[in-house]
Amino acid sequence: MTENTGVKHGGAPGSRGRTTIADVVVEKIAGMAARDVPGVYALGSGFARSMGSMRERMPGAGSGKSVTRGVSVEVGEVQAAIDLEIVVDYGVSITDVASDVRENVIAAVERMAGLEVVEVDIAVSDVKLPDEEDEEEQRQRVQ
């Protein structure tokens, strides 16, 4: 005869098994969160953005802008470290934008992926000047 102690075998359903999160998932979350911050013009260096825009025009290369451009991550089992390269709009406080990006990225990754973000390093690689034409405008004019 078995004794019923009220303990279910295997524990709670949420604790049965293992969840792994790929680096690209965290890169996408961080990229989207960084782009949502006012004052961020783009992610990635000028060269990376140029190569990305050429890649977007190639058939079969996928559609839309790459949300992982300018984002690199190191993901462990419970922690993540994130590096971002951003371009800011002229006239904004770079330190304020960087702080806002850091807060938004940490909140998004911790909420969506459940990972502790140990650091978000931000490199500001350029400033978008008001008189500079958009890459998008240049492409439309050339077509």
Tens digit of pLDDT for each residue in 53-106? 544 455 555 544 588 999 999 999 999 999 999 999 999 999 999 999 999 999
Asked whether 110 and 116 are in contact (CB, 8 A), the reply is yes
Higher pLDDT, 8 or 113: 113
Of 28, 31, 55, the C-alpha closest to 42 is 31
| Predicted model pTM | 0.74
Asked whether 65 and 31 are in contact (CB, 8 A), the reply is no
Tens digit of pLDDT for each residue in 8-29? 566 788 778 888 899 999 999 9
Judge whether residue 139 has pLDDT over 90: no
Rounded CA separation 47/49 (Å) = 5
Q: What is the pLDDT of residue 49?
A: 45
Judge whether residue 1 has pLDDT over 50: no
